[in-house]
């Protein structure tokens, strides 16, 4: 596991494609914390949102997507099937399957894949 994480931490030192987040935004947590713990943070948030209806959203998947999934060079929002999708760019690289997007929207709210 730590082997994969160290891969992920170094992802931008390698040549893999990593999309930039929305300009002028800052992540809710430190980069290193996000890289190693993002799954625990959104897992914790998910039960609060769904079971208790607390949608304050500091660690919500919705906001991850809103910031991190940005337009690619073709002026399109890449969805989860694309290697240019923020989550996918790394998850494919480390061969870890995401189970979020069989149900969750993988591009920002109110945006379409093609403009």
Partner 1 sequence: MNKLNRREFIKKTTNTAAISILPGVFLQTVNAKGADVKNRWGMLIDTRGCGDCKNECITACHSEHAVKSFDRPQTDSQWIRKVTVKNRKTSHTMALPIMCQHCEKPACVDVCPTGASFKRVDGIVLVDRHICIGCRYCMMACPYKARNFVHENLSEQNTISPRGKGTVEACTMCVHRIDKDGAKAKTACQQACPKNSIIFGDLNDKNSGISKKLKAMGARQIRADLNLNPAVLYQGLDL
Residue numbers at the binding site for partner 1 (CB under 8 A): 6, 9-10, 13-14, 24-26, 28, 30-32, 46, 48, 50-58, 62-63, 65, 79-81, 102-109, 112-113
Smallest separation (angstroms) from partner 1 to the CB of 13: 5
- Give whichever of 58 and 115 is closer to partner 1, judged by the CB atom: 58
Smallest separation (angstroms) from partner 1 to the CB of 72: 17
Helix and strand numbers, DSSP H then E, in the chain: 4, 0
- Give whichever of 75 and 110 is closer to partner 1, judged by the CB atom: 110
112 vs 7: CA distance, rounded Å: 32
**Residue 28, exposed/middle/buried by CB under 10 A (0-12, 13-18, 19+)?**
middle
- Give whichever of 92 and 105 is closer to partner 1, judged by the CB atom: 105
**Residue 59, exposed/middle/buried by CB under 10 A (0-12, 13-18, 19+)?**
buried
């Amino acid at each position: 596991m730590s082997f994969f994480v160290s891969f992920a931490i170094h992802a931008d030192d390698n040549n893999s494609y990593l999309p930039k987040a929305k300009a002028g935004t800052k992540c809710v947590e430190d980069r290193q914390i996000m890289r190693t713990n993002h799954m625990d943070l959104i897992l914790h948030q998910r039960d609060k949102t769904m079971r208790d209806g607390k949608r304050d959203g500091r660690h919500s998947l919705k906001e991850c997507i809103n910031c991190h999934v940005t337009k690619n060079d073709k002026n399109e929002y890449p969805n989860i099937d694309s290697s240019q999708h923020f989550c996918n760019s790394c998850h494919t690289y480390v061969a870890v399957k995401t189970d979020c997007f069989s149900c969750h929207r993988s591009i920002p709210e109110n945006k379409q894949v093609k403009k």
